[in-house]
Structure 1
Amino acid sequence: MPHITPCLWFDDQAEEAAQFYVSIFEDARIGAVSHYAEAGQDIHGKPPGSVMTVSFELAGQPFLALNGGPAFRFNQAVSFQVVCESQQEIDTYWEKLSAGGDDAAQQCGWLKDRFGLSWQVVPAELSDLLGGPEPARAQRVMAALLLMKKLDLDALRQAHAGG
């Protein structure tokens, strides 16, 4: 069966980023690290021996971090969703992932980490709170959600209940 592995393009922070992400998630590990060789240096421009790629895993999901140079930057068109079971999990992941990140990019559970990568830290029940047969409940939840940066699970539940 084929696997899909997101490849994250960094300037030269691939190893630092992989170590940062692995430090946040419990079920995480660094895998193989490859290095640039002299071959192709006229194309990649990286010093021989410097880190080229770092494979790592977060919660069973494989990732590859690539030191590709400054040509590309992350944007919010791609984000990774961290689905949390409790407010404590939301608080923990929000605090760790947003440390040193872009405060202005924080809204509705979205944040940018210190490498510019976008994350959504959301409660597992968010789709239930926004769905269901009663549109008025979803409207209240959405109105509450739009006022938040880090999501407040109790406030979302209260909005759903009509409070």
Structure 2
Amino acid sequence: MSPDPLALPAFIISIIGLVIAVIGAATGVVALVWQIVTRTRGAHRVVVSVNSDMQMVGAGTGNTKCLEILVRNRGAASVQIQPWGIRLSDGNSLVVIPGDFPPPPVLPYTLDAGTSASFYARAEAIADAAGVRNLATARAVVHLATGQKIIGRKGEIRVG
């Protein structure tokens, strides 16, 4: 009995098929990971922080201590900022009217990817409003056009 002349080519073809299947599976996994990364990075990622050590000097401001509410978009998509304000630790919110401060961006403001916007508020006005309620801390709040509410870190604004 002679050996089958097609046995070796069939074995080689099955090995080649296995290699192609492994490459296809690996490519599929890489594509899935890429989709997850681009989906999460492609969205807007808005962060709110507060700088409470600002001194406003210049014409008409005197030497006023103020808060800078800094809104950053770390994502890859632009997003619109709607109203912003200060949330006191009891859950009530304050609407800030800028007055003679540097003019804030006109709302609604489009925050492009990788950019930031600053809003200012008088520290004494916020301290007065919080003092009436015997509160010691507050947070910055920014509302987005998507319906999201971005809230700053707890206790970031000391008002007491």
The bucket for the TM-score relative to the shorter chain is: under 0.3
Give the TM-score taking structure 2 as reference length.
0.24
Instruction: Please tell me whether Structure 1 or Structure 2 has the larger radius of gyration of its CA atoms.
Output: 2
Give the TM-score taking structure 1 as reference length.
0.24
Higher normalized contact order (CA 8 Å, seq sep 6+, divided by chain length):
2
Whichever structure has more strand as a proportion of its residues is 2
